[in-house]
């Protein structure tokens, strides 16, 4: 079984985002970029499926600028087999990403596509579900457990009230949540090996997909800043404050 894992290059989660002074977006010049953390979890899950003998090949794909190659190499170093880079300038919205991924699925025929539940830059939480709709496949979103057997994927999902389990007919879409696994680090020898793994370069035009945005960003602003308040010296003072707030009798 082939597994497709889309990975996005995003601002590293440890970096505090800064809004550009001209209000056109967040400053991405000279800041650390990394693989979207949820996508690391997806890559890890695919590798575990391969180690269990369920998956036979892991293909990673990224849509973005040429530097997204680095992100793909990271995934290859973790254990993916080959990579596809679809180069596109500027922001590609989830709908367009999903359309490109649908074309990759058509060409590659994977039985499972594992995406992150959310990219930590746009915080959209859309792409996997959109891909499910375009392909007419079932979706197991926000997965904290995945079992593949007998032509089905059983997915335990993190939902608002707790956990829910669904069974999906393969081929299917899974989107990963934080508790699914803990991603491995790539070892130095594997980083070296990844350099010679195949990485194919494509463009949206190769797939005949229009990536023109449907949403126009009029401006990007800083949220209102909260002022730091006061420190109290002891519990008695805190109790007095809580009483003043009316939350304690």
Ligand X SMILES: Cc1cc2nc3c(=O)[nH]c(=O)nc-3n(C[C@H](O)[C@H](O)[C@H](O)COP(=O)(O)OP(=O)(O)OC[C@H]3O[C@@H](n4cnc5c(N)ncnc54)[C@H](O)[C@@H]3O)c2cc1C
Interacting residues with ligand AMP (CB under 6 A): 6-8, 36, 38-39, 62-64, 92, 94, 97, 115-116, 118-119, 122, 124-128
CB of 240 to other proteins, least distance (A): 10
- Residue selected from 54, 120, 191, 199 as contacting other proteins according to rule CB under 8 A: 120
1 in contact with ligand X (CB under 6 A): no
94 in contact with ligand X (CB under 6 A): no
19's tokens: 């809004």
Helix (H) or strand (E) holding 242: helix 235-245
- Range 31-60, binding other proteins (CB under 8 A): 38
Position of minimal CB gap to ligand X = 37
String of b and e for 159-194 (b: at least 16 CB within 10 Å)? eeeeeeeeebebbbbbbbbeebbebeebeeeeeeeb
- Residue selected from 136, 150, 189, 208 as contacting other proteins according to rule CB under 8 A: 136
Closest CA to 18 of 30, 28, 33: 28
- Residue that the structure tokens 């194919």 belong to: 200
37 in contact with ligand X (CB under 6 A): yes
Q: Which is nearer to ligand AMP, 115 or 155 (CB)?
A: 115
What count of other Cβ atoms lies within 10 Å of the Cβ of residue 84?
Answer: 21
Q: Which is nearer to other proteins, 57 or 65 (CB)?
A: 65
Number of residues located near ligand X, criterion CB under 6 A: 3
- Residue selected from 54, 103, 122, 193 as contacting other proteins according to rule CB under 8 A: 122
223 in contact with other proteins (CB under 8 A): yes
Closest CA to 93 of 203, 3, 209: 209
220 in contact with other proteins (CB under 8 A): yes
**Strand pairing class (152-159; 138-149):** antiparallel
- Residue selected from 68, 92, 131, 146 as contacting other proteins according to rule CB under 8 A: 131
Number of residues located near other proteins, criterion CB under 8 A: 84
Beta-strand ranges (E) seen in 117-198 are: 138-149, 152-159, 162-169, 172-176
Task: Using alpha carbons only, give the angle 192, 88, 121 rounded to the nearest 5 degrees.
Answer: 80
């Amino acid at each position: 079984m082939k597994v497709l894992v889309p990975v996005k290059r995003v601002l590293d989660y440890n970096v505090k985002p800064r809004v550009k002074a001209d209000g056109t977006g967040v400053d991405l010049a000279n800041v650390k970029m990394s693989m979207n953390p949820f996508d690391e979890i997806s890559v890890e899950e695919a590798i575990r499926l391969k180690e269990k003998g369920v998956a036979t090949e892991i293909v990673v794909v990224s849509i973005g600028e040429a530097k997204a190659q680095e992100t793909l190499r990271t995934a290859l170093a973790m254990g993916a087999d080959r990579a596809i880079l679809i180069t596109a300038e500027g922001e590609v919205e989830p709908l367009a990403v999903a359309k490109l991924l649908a074309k990759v699925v058509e060409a590659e025929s994977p039985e499972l596509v594992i995406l992150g539940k959310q990219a930590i830059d746009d915080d959209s939480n859309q792409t996997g579900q959109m891909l499910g709709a375009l392909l007419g496949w079932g979706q197991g979103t926000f997965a904290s457990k995945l079992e593949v057997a007998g032509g089905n994927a059983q997915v335990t999902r993190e939902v608002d009230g707790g956990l829910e389990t669904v069974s999906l007919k393969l081929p299917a879409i899974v989107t990963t949540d934080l508790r699914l696994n803990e991603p491995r680090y790539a070892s130095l020898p594997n980083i070296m090996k990844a350099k010679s793994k195949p990485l194919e370069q494509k463009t949206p035009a190769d797939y005949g997909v229009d990536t023109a945005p449907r949403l126009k960003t009029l401006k990007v602003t800083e949220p209102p800043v909260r002022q730091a308040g006061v420190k109290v010296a002891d519990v008695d003072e805190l109790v007095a404050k809580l009483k003043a707030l009316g939350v304690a009798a």
